[in-house]
A and B are shown apart, each in its own frame.
Chain A
Amino acid sequence: MIEDKLLIWKFKRGSSDALCRIYEKYKDNMLRLASALLNDSAAAEDIVHDCFVSFAQSSHRLKVSGNLRSYLAVSVASRARNWNRARKRQETAGLNEAEPIISSYKRPEQWIIYNEQLSLLNNALEQLSYQQREVISMRLQGGMKFKAIAGLQGVSINTVQSRYRYGLDKLRSILYAAGVFR
């Protein structure tokens, strides 16, 4: 936390070393969060890329009141939400034309290397409602407090906690059925 404050202080004063450190420190977290929210590796990579580029450009007007990880997580989640909203609007293709949920395309510049555990978890998260998925991902992968998530979703803390609890229950049963827990 203190390191983050120092990094932000340096970053705002033009230190690219601080920016590199922030990137190294949080890129995995943000990729994990974005891929959990979207279950689409290309979109997740684009969003995290854009998030960091936008962050880099905001040094002169940046104001981080909470912790840096949450700040970045909110940025990723907002973009993911927009992306999902856009995707819903465009869902007009017939089922036969539709791609699988996780794109099987291997791109040379692919950023995230999916392993079995990550794919399994993301597929399980995909089966939750978006609100539940968002709460769980932002809590566990974004390190956010329930209060902050409630603010982001525009609902009460109780609602967020319920979404978290029910989401975890459902996730457990999905993963149990998939043989992850025995």
Chain B
Amino acid sequence: MATVETRTITKRFEGHTAVDGIDLLVKEGEFLVLLGPSGCGKTTLLRMLAGLETPTSGEVVIDSRIVTRLPPRARNIAMVFQSYALYPHLSVFKNIAFPLHAVGMPRDEIRKKVEWAASMFGIERLLERKPRQLSGGERQRVALARAVVREPVVFLLDEPLSNLDAKLRTAARDELQQFQRRLGTTTIYVTHDQVEAMGLGDRIAVLNEGRMHQLGTPLEVYGDPADTFVATFIGSPPMNLIESDHVITGFRPEQYLPRAAFAADEAVHALPFVVNRVENLGADRLVYGTLEPPSPQARVISRLPSTVTVAVQPGERHEFAVRIRDLKHFDGATGLKKPGPAR
């Protein structure tokens, strides 16, 4: 268990800055998610933490040791790759044992450790198989076992669930979280899937174009986004944003409901609109529409839970509203959150 820290870490490739001066402090035992779209620098950042890339400037600190120039094996970390990177010519047993051989552990100790790691993920019966004989889920577990077996102080995970099919993914996500809680090892997890991030992370670092836009708990990044990028990246469907007079006002689809759904004395802001399209998803309905004047003619989305039974048809005009305290305000020029209570 260790803290992980980056100090103004930067990585520049030919003519392109992948990571631009990020300061990050990961607490002991924390499950931190690096979230962002492709190309935002999250994988580069992870690789610098692992020692697979050298930063152009800045420092990496693991367990209060400056490790910036140290090779991966001197950092006492373990990594799970998106492709799992299992050694195809070695059996599952030898795959898991590989890091232990590398440090010269005696044979019987290795056997014990491998069996312990394998039992943690329920793959004991697979030990003599080769990777190509395993399913995607089984391979993922072998990769995890290999990471765990050395008992490192930090786990680095690079989109380990993205190669699993959707059904498997939710189960795997659950198992992953439980296993991390059990071991209590500091974990840094990269993903572009914000549902995964929200589900797994103790805190989420939202990255875009090499910069960190916000670092906070899922509740914080969802309920109190630092700027319009975070506001629209997190949450599906994305937050509604309306620009007027250099101020961008935002509200989430599930906060945009028929006036009647709110209590009569609730302070709300009315935003009537015309319905364009309705998607009935079963548990919710998504209503797509365009705002009516005096609001700017912006497209908006409302998410109606099945408990709200108001009939909505395309072409109709409806009086929907948002609670005043649910409104978020952002600066029209910078996109940053405007401090202070909504008015």
Q: Do they bind each other?
A: no
Binding site for B on A (CB under 8 A): none
Binding site for A on B (CB under 8 A): none
